[in-house]
Homo-oligomer: A and B are copies of this chain.
Amino acid sequence: MLAGMGRLEIKPSEHAALVDGRPLSLTVRELQLLVTLSEHPQRIMTRDELFAQVWGGRPRSDDRSVDVYVSRLRAKLGEAIPEAELIHTHNGIGYRFSPDD
């Protein structure tokens, strides 16, 4: 059984991510990050890739922005869909969005 996805719709064109039809209140950055991750489901995306898509350019070598926003995003997704683990960490590499597990 899909633990959560199916309940989550992402509509970049409407500046919205919906859970059961109702929008999450995400900030612009959080939404951009979620959109980027969800455009490549099951694919491990590096911090550099994510940073390039969301912020543009390359992160400083010690930049933790991606991690911080992943954390914030997980907090809000977790509140809306407690039983789902949508964003997975891949140690030393980056993050992966998995709608169905």
Contacts and interface: CB of A to CB of B under 8 A. Distances in A.
Contact of A44 (B16, B42, B43, B91): B16
A38 to B, nearest CB: 16
Interface stretch (A20-28, A55-63, A67-75, A76-84): A20-28
Contacts of A21: 42
Contact of A93 (B15, B90, B101): B15
Contacts of A25: 88, 90
A53 interface: no
- A-B pairs, 7 with minimum CB distance: A15-B93, A28-B92, A16-B44, A15-B44, A22-B42, A23-B44, A14-B44
A98 interface: yes
